[in-house]
Structures are given as structure tokens and as C-alpha cells.
Structure 1
Amino acid sequence: MKKLLVLFALVIVVAGVVITKTTVKAQDNIESKDSSVIQDDTIKSEVVTLDQTKEENTDLTKSTILLGGEKKSGFNFLTIIRGLFGMAVLVMIAWLFSANRRKIDWLVIGKGLAIQLLLAVCILYIPFVAYFFEFVGKIFVKILDFTKVGSTFLFGNLMDMNSIGMIFAFQILPTIIFFSALTSILFYLGVIQVVVKGFAWVMVKAMKLSGSESLSVAGNIFLGQTEAPLMIKAYLPKMNDSEMLLVMIGGMATVAGGVLAAYIGFLGGDDPVQRVLFAKHLLTASVMAAPGAIVISKILMPQTEKIEEQADVKMENIGSNFLDALSNGTIEGLKLAANVGAMLLVFFAFIAMINFIFTKVGSWVHLNDLIDNATHGNYDKLSIEFILGYLFSPLMWAIGVCKEDITLLGRLLGEKLIASEFVAYTSLAALKSSGNAVYGSFTEYKSIIMATYMLCGFANFASIGIQIGGIGGLAPNKRGFLSKQGLRALVGGSIASLLSATIIGMILG
């Protein structure tokens, strides 16, 4: 335990020094600029000016969001305390759900948390690392542009409509199809296998993982919760309980590359600066989720058996040649896009139906007026959004969200768990663009970024069934374990994403 505390203290100190130096430089750069650009009051007044041109509005929005992030003070005593408190709360929740509390290897847990923190600091504050992730983010943005060319050919003027539904149907869903095809090509060429093996090697050496589970978790950074286990199909039937739970939580805590590209397009809109900004944060969230999933998994079900560190990527032939791989990836992407579209249609319709019932009940018992007065107009009736927002608001406060935004993030977390991360990201995009504040309906820029990390994962109730069907099909002898541990995996995946959000919130200050 002493080693754990010393290790984590050193990481906090090093991170604090790095961020402090970077923040001082950033503040000096900001202060040297024209005061008409950086003063919050000026920005706010310009944002609401009605006679601005479209181009001026776009440039101002970019500056507002970017300056909002840069003007944060970074690490200070209060943010460190809030961050450490939030991390402690999340670890405690995982400990309460643990299957074997006495066997938890706290040194491994400490290493995992330290790796998560160092990843976040390096990606956001170390220049060459930040530039690399921005470069990868720009690649994702370019992929969105390539997709738009094909979508414009197919849908024509429908691509120019600005309603959320049109954007999603004719811009976001095609992105999923194209990226699925691209992923298939990268697999055919062996690129993804090499990158995954590199990540897996680091995890084996740093966190005492078996080769098979590390390959699966590393694969989840790029692939979905049923695709990544395909790489270790031969090992799945022989995995012990701790390894199998990590495979499940790794799938719940991360997202596939195809939907990651879709989120970038959805949150960034048509603004290239915002696209790169959210691409960088979503990529960071995806990478941070891997050690986070390991930390929470090894608390929920500690490793008590001998492990095999060696494992090879073994995957069925994805295509007989380049064109065959491209075609197979396109077909799989079409299936995924159709599933996502159908799921959103049903869930939004279902939420509307439930809200209609709640509103009627609230009207009959005079709850709607009470809610309107109690929330100062933030919620004007009994609804799912109101219930979820206040149900999860204590947890949102614990992880460091400002008090003005805790119900908004609580609502988003609830939507993710009950429906899906797509539904929640849809709400986040709408909230980010609505309201009179500089940051839409949010009070702080940090809340938007923390929500981006918190929602970046497949942890929802539908995923339990997906894993039972997908992973259970690869290893029928594990179907019982998958069914029994589904809820524990859901909790673990959610906590892993919340852990990333907590760390990023602590760093942003």
C-alpha cells in the first residue's frame, strides 16, 4: 500500500509541474493577444449579436470554445482534491461490487490509475504527444470529408439540410459504413494487428495481464465489443473468470472506430476546428479507457490464477483479396448503420411515449408546477430527463462537475445506460448548441469535455445482450458466465468511463 501511495504521489507531482509550466505559457500567450478577443464579456456580447455574418459567427464560436479551454488554471489544490475524491468514490463503488475484495492487487490498481493520468497529461500538455493525437484526429476529420463526397453523390441536396435528423441520417450513418470498410482494409493489410500487439505488450509488462486479455483490451481501442474478441477466439474457451470479465468490461468501456468517427462529426458539426478538438478528446478517451477498464476489472474480479503472458492475434480471413475485404467491411458497416438508425428511432419514440405518460401524471398530481418552480425553469414537467438528471447528480458532483451542470450530465449518463451512447451524444450535441450561455446550456466548458469522456463507451443494458450473443457465440461454454456477470460488466464499463472523465476534469481545472 505504501508503494501505491508513493507511486501515485509522484505521478501527481510530475503532472502538476508539467501542467503548471504549460498553463503559464498558455496564459502568457493569451494575455499578449488583443483584449477584444479574449475578454469573456466581449465574447459573450459578440456571440449574441444578431447582425453578424455567418463566417464571423463560426470564427467566434471556434475562438470561444478554444479559449474557454485554454483559460483554465490547470492543476490547483482544489481541483486535485476534487479529482482524487472523485477517483476514490469510483474505486470505492467498484470495491463494493468486488467478487473477492481480499485478493485485490492494489499495486496493479495504482499502476493503472497512474498510466491513465500520465496518458491524459501527455496527450493534452506534452507538445509532441498532443501534436500526434491532433494529427490522428485530423485523419479522422479527413475521413469524414471523404465520406461526405460519397454521401453528396448519393443524397444530393439532402446533405445541405441542417436539422439534426437530416445530419444524422445523411452524414453520420454513412460515416459508419465508410469507416467500417476502411477498418476492414487495415485488418487485411495487417496494420491494426501490429498496433494492437504493441499496446498489448505494454499492458502485459506494466500491469501483469495475460497475453490474451491484453490483446482483447488493446483491440477494443479500435474495434467493437464483439469484433475485438475475434482476435482471441482460440483463447476464449480457456479463459479464467478474471480474464473473461476484463474482456467484457473492455468492450463496455470503449467504442469502435466507426462510431468514434461518427461522434466526431456529430459533436464537431461543420466547424473544422471543433471537429479536430473533439477528435482529439474522443481519441484520448478511447486510449484512456483501456487502462481504466483494467483497473476496474481487477477490482471487481481480481486475478487469482496463473496466467499465460504469450498470445498471438488469430483472426479468421477477412477477405480473399483487397476488394473482397473492402466489400465485406462495407456490408458489415451497413448492418451496423442500420442497427444504429433503427435503435435511435425506437429509443427516441419510446422516450417520447414515456415522457407523455409522465407529463400527464405530473399534471394530474400537480407535480409539473412544483418541478418548474424548484428547478427555476430548467425542467418544466415530470420527465425521464428530470428523473435521471437528479438521480445521478450526486455522482456527477462527486467526480468534479460544477453544481450548475450536474443535472445535465446526470441526465446524459442515464440516457447512455438506459438507451445508448448514441442517444446520449445526440442530447449532448443538442445541449451544446442550445441555450443562451457561451457553452450552450452548460455553464462550464469543462462540463462538455467531461461529458464527452463519460459517454465514450458501449456500457448500456443492450450491450449485455450483445455480449451474451456475440462473445457467447465464440465461446459457448462461457455463455453462463456472460449472463451472470453482465450487470457487473455494465457497472465496470460505466465506472471506467467515469474515471477518465474525472481525471480529465481534474487536469482541466
Structure 2
Amino acid sequence: MRYLISFCGLLLVFGLAFLVSKNRKEIKYKNIILMLVIQFLLAAVLLNTRFGYTLIKGVSNVFDRLLEYASAGVSFVFGGLANEGEYSFFLNVLLPIVFISVLIGILQHFKILPIFMKWVGWLLSKVNGMGKMESYNAVASVMVGQSEVFITLKKQLAKISPQRMYTLCASAMSTVSMSIVGAYMTMIEPKYVVTAIVLNLFGGFIISSIINPYKVDENEDILTIEDEEKQSFFQMLGEYIMDGFKVAVIVGAMLIGFVALMALINALFDMIFGISFQEILGYLFAPIAFLMGVPWAEAISAGGIMATKLVTNEFVAMMSLGDVANTFSTHTLAIISVFLVSFANFSSIGIIAGAVKGLNEKQGNVVARFGLKLLYGATLVSILTAIIVGLII
């Protein structure tokens, strides 16, 4: 029965994507089926095999060690700020982003990341039937972030069609940046973080191929990656340290605002209606959670967390998940965890549109116009990933 429900969930995801498709005759069904098969295989390998366990354990150990190194710097500056034995979210989860950002900067400076992103993107283009630019952009979004990725393409932004622009932005919203992966791993199990990142990469291609299919002229599919302005090694370090700190502070500020606002809204709804706002959202999203494979007994609570992620951000939702994780079955915890690992929320619309507008005002306006459709597609990607994990685990 569980498999039948999840299969209905898959049909719903594809049906909702097909419903808003711009050009159904151009949909490349063979590529979509191939990528769907790859998603199931990757999920099975990562979650159900010894090799997958070893791989994820290795990735987790790397990030654990990096977080240890990061804590040395944090402790030097902020040691004693938190009471002994107490846990500080800002110090332990957000500030390590600064160190991860530095490592990304070093890999960028020595041209290791650009080469990796370009060749992996080229390989993916052979599978997804899309252009090299779209494939490169998806990989680059994971490596450098949903805003920064457009800087690497700024020479070509003015020439990119609205159709291709949608796919580029959808990839950026469906993935997460490596700079905050370590932060996620302190809040949910690393195996779900790694699995979601890999599956969302292909899921973004699948949903975009249905919602926004188009042909790419080989003569126009020329990938020109913008090189960063030549800096000395220590100039680069300073820049990436500041960039990482800005991200940490911005995320911290958003958490303060969103968590406080959610607490206020919940209190008002509870006082007026006798039920919290998150509980109401839980009832609205419960059918979706159920079709993702969550048992109905847990669907309302799970739906509330899903909705929290959509209207606030993934960090707030992960904190909410942590509060009720011990009430969920392992199956439900896996499904909701992978659903949360993406930038698919309302605030990301403004972030991406603002990033593009800063580089090209005309294209920024284009992105702003299809903002809600962008969020719609990215949310379907998260649901697709969650259903696949629910079927495999």
C-alpha cells in the first residue's frame, strides 16, 4: 500500500509539472526517464549499500573535521561567550560557514573548482539533453551558491533567453551551496544531506524539462565562464572570509526575524482560533506529506514542517524538525529531512532576482516575473526527491 501511495505521489508531481508546461511537444521523455532511473539508482546506492554508507561516512568525516578546525577559530574569538555546556546555534552552526567559504575560495583561486564544474557539467549535458550552460550552472550552484553562480556567467547574461534563464534559476533554487552543507549536517543526518544534494541535481533537470522544455541551438550553446578579477592569494582569502561572515550574519538575522515572527503568529492564532498557524499549515500540507510516503498519523506534523520551510527557510524548518524528530518514525524522518535540503522558499525568489538584477537589470526583471513559477518548480523537485527516498529507504 505504501508503494502505491508513493507511486500516486510521483504521478501527482509529474502531473503538476505537466499542467504548467510551456511547450509539451518539446518534452524529452527519454531523457526524463533516464534521469529518473539514475535518481532511483543513486538513492539505492547511497542509502542501502555498504559502498554508499562508506562514501557518506567519508563525506561526513571530512565535514566533521572541517567543523573542528572552524571551531578553533570561533573559540579563539568568541570563547567564553556561551555558558559552559550550553549550545549556541550562531557559534556552532553558522560561524563555521566562514571557514568553509575560505576553502571554496582557495579551490576557486587555484582553478580547481572551475575545471571540475565545467567537465562535470559537460558530462551531465550528455544525460539530461540540455545545454552545456544549464548543466554547468547546476553543478556550479552547488559549489559556489545560488547567487554567486550568476557572476561566473555575467558575460552571457544579456544574451540568455527567458526560457534558459528559468532553467538556470530553477537549478540554483533546487540545490544548496557547499558553504552551508556543514551547517545542515549539524542539524540533520549527513546521509540525508548528501542524498538530497545529488538527487536534487537531477530532479531540477527533470522538472525543468517538463515545465520549461526547449531546444538549444548548438551554435548558441557556447559556455564562457567569467574569470574572477586577478587577486593575490591573501586578497582572495580576505574577500572569502568576509563573504562567509556576511552569509553567517544574514542567515542569523533571518532566523531571528522568522523564528520571532512565527512565534508571534502562532501565539495570535492560538489565542484567537485555539490552534497555531503551523498546525493550520500542517493540515494544508498533510495530503502532500502523505503522498510522499509519510504515514497519516505523522502527516500533519510533517506537513507543518514542510510549510515552515516554504514560508520561512530551511534552517527554521530544520530547527522545527529537531523539536519533534523523536516523535517521527525513521521512514518519516528520512522523507522530511531530504525535503528540507534545498533553497526552495519565498525568500529565495528575492535573493536570486536581486543577484541577477545586480549584474543585468533587464534579466533581473525577467527572473522576478517568473518568481512564483520558479518556486513552484523547485518545490516539486523537493517533493520528487522525498518520494524517491521514501520508496527506497
TM class, shorter-length: over 0.9
Q: Deviations over 1:390-434 (max 9, x none)?
A: 1100011111111122112211111111111111111112222xx
Q: What does residue range 99-498 of structure 1 map to in structure 2 within 5 Å?
A: 99-158=22-81, 161=84, 166-267=87-188, 278-307=189-218, 308-317=220-229, 320-362=231-273, 368=274, 382-432=275-325, 440-442=326-328, 444-498=329-383
Q: Deviations over 1:127-165 (max 9, x none)?
A: 4354233212211111111111222222223456555xx
Runs of 4+ in 1 over 6 A off after TM superposition: none
Gap regions ≥5 residues in structure 2 = none
How many angstroms apart in 2 are the aligned matches of 1:312 and 1:126? Answer: 39
SS at match of 2:143: coil
Question: Which structure is higher in RCO with an 8 Å CA cutoff and minimum separation 6?
Answer: 2
Q: Retained in 1: the 8 A contact 2:141–2:176?
A: yes
How many angstroms apart in 2 are the aligned matches of 1:89 and 1:331? Answer: 43
Residue of structure 2 in register with 1:41 after alignment = none
Alpha-carbon spacing, 1:161–1:505, altered in 2? closer, same or farther (3 Å):
farther
Q: Retained in 2: the 8 A contact 1:158–1:170?
A: no
Q: Retained in 1: the 8 A contact 2:17–2:210?
A: yes
Alpha-carbon spacing, 1:360–1:79, altered in 2? closer, same or farther (3 Å):
closer
How many angstroms apart in 2 are the aligned matches of 1:301 and 1:498? Answer: 18
SS at match of 2:297: coil
Please provide the CA RMSD for this pair.
Answer: 1.9
Q: Deviations over 1:211-248 (max 9, x none)?
A: 11111111122231111222222222222233211111
Amino acid at match of 2:243: E
SS at match of 1:290: helix
Amino acid at match of 2:89: F
Gap regions ≥5 residues in structure 1 = 1-77, 268-277, 363-367, 369-381, 433-439
Q: Retained in 1: the 8 A contact 2:23–2:214?
A: no
Alpha-carbon spacing, 1:235–1:80, altered in 2? closer, same or farther (3 Å):
farther
Answer with 1 or 2: which has the greater Rg. 1
Residue of structure 2 in register with 1:90 after alignment = 13
How many angstroms apart in 2 are the aligned matches of 1:159 and 1:450? Answer: 34
Identity of aligned residues (%): 30
Alpha-carbon spacing, 1:445–1:162, altered in 2? closer, same or farther (3 Å):
farther
Alpha-carbon spacing, 1:328–1:248, altered in 2? closer, same or farther (3 Å):
same
Residue of structure 2 in register with 1:73 after alignment = none
Alpha-carbon spacing, 1:328–1:111, altered in 2? closer, same or farther (3 Å):
same
Residue of structure 2 in register with 1:506 after alignment = 391
Q: Retained in 1: the 8 A contact 2:28–2:129?
A: no
Q: Retained in 2: the 8 A contact 1:232–1:315?
A: no
Q: Retained in 2: the 8 A contact 1:212–1:235?
A: no
Q: Deviations over 1:312-356 (max 9, x none)?
A: 433323x62222221111100111111111111111111122122
Q: Retained in 2: the 8 A contact 1:141–1:279?
A: no
Amino acid at match of 2:181: L
Amino acid at match of 1:296: I
